[in-house]
Homo-oligomer: A and B are copies of this chain.
Amino acid sequence: MSVQERKERERADRERLIVATARELAEQQGWDAVTTRRLAERIEYSQPVLYSHFRGKREIIGAVALEGAAEMAAALRAAASAADGPRTRVTALARAYLAFAERNPAVYDAMFRLDGGLAFAHEDTPEPLKDAFAALLETLGEVAGDGVHPALFTEVFWAALHGLATLTRAGRLPPEDTEPRVELLVDRLAM
């Protein structure tokens, strides 16, 4: 039985290696550079091995997205818990969100821009994604205001952050004024 366990462990290790390598490569040279061949070469296996772990490239992107979602949730909670007072927490949360997007552009793309074959807003939404939304909700729910559904408020606030993140990264918004944008957003939206 121990033999089989070792094999499973090795398999799991290799799967982690694939995901980590894909992420690394994407952060270094962009997702376009993440081809199955290059990825296979980096992990020092042949291409078909990838397909014994994942159904295809999409699933690899999805795996990176899930890993990123977990990290993001942790980062958001850490930032929020370091601040006190609901509004301060919201500001810290917003800054942490945008900082995460800026520091991990490839991961952010995997989560929200690319098609990782993940389901959202459904029953079968993967746990890390639901948890990342929950992390937002925890802090944002406090400042939704009377008569406003916390989830709805969180969606709107999240959409605004997502818009800022993507438009900035795509060069649609000059990056210098990020801070005043955050302040304006929190000032107006949070009650």
Contact = CB atoms under 8 A, between A and B. Distances in A.
Interface in A138-163: 148, 152-153, 155-156, 158-163
B177 A152 contact: yes
A152 B184 CA distance: 9
Contact of A188 (B163, B171, B173, B189): B189
Contact of A152 (B160, B166, B181): B181
A159 B174 contact: no
B155 A162 contact: no
A170 interface: yes
A163 B159 contact: yes
Given A159-B160, A184-B152, A172 B113 contact: no
Interface residues of A, number: 31
A121 B171 contact: yes
Contact of A148 (B121, B158, B184): B184
Q: Which of A152, A171, A188 has the most CB of B within 10 A?
A: A188
25 contacts: A112-B166, A112-B167, A112-B170, A119-B171, A120-B173, A121-B171, A121-B172, A121-B174, A152-B177, A152-B180, A153-B184, A155-B181, A156-B160, A156-B181, A156-B185, A159-B160, A159-B163, A159-B167, A160-B160, A160-B185, A162-B167, A163-B163, A163-B166, A188-B188, A189-B189
